[in-house]
Amino acid sequence: MQHRMYLTIGALARRAEAIHGRRAVVSRRPSKDLERRTYGETVRRARQLSAALGALGVRPGDRVATLGWNHVQHLEAYIGIPLAGAVLHTL
């Protein structure tokens, strides 16, 4: 039987965590300070966001909009919102 690898956010998150989990994600904050977090930490926090959205009543197919800087928290939203089954819209 052939194993299929689907290109989903969940698959991408698992791969980033497994292969690059200790590598840094570096963001420059509006204050100009650098913030460092690993891919493993980023994926863990994205899963927490996904669970929090579900606890807030966000259901698969619901739309969630984001407005933010290009930093690690926005990356967490890019992963976490689709993991919750919601549709991500950037403003």
pLDDT at 16 over 70: yes
For the chain, the average pLDDT equals 93
The pLDDT score that the predictor gives to residue 6 is 80
Which residues are within 8 A (CB) of 86 and not within 5 positions of it... i.e. 6 or more apart?
A: 53, 58, 59, 60, 61, 62, 63, 64
Q: Which of helix, strand or coil describes residue 67?
A: coil
pTM value is 0.89
The pLDDT score that the predictor gives to residue 69 is 85
Mean pLDDT to the nearest integer, 6-33? 93
**pLDDT band, very low/low/confident/very high, at 5 (cuts 50, 70, 90):** low
Mean pLDDT to the nearest integer, 56-65? 98
Task: Quick: pLDDT tens for 61-90.
Answer: 999 999 988 899 999 999 999 999 999 999
Q: Which of helix, strand or coil describes residue 62?
A: coil
pLDDT at 1 over 60: no
Is the Cα torsion angle 45, 65, 67, 90 positive or negative in sign? positive
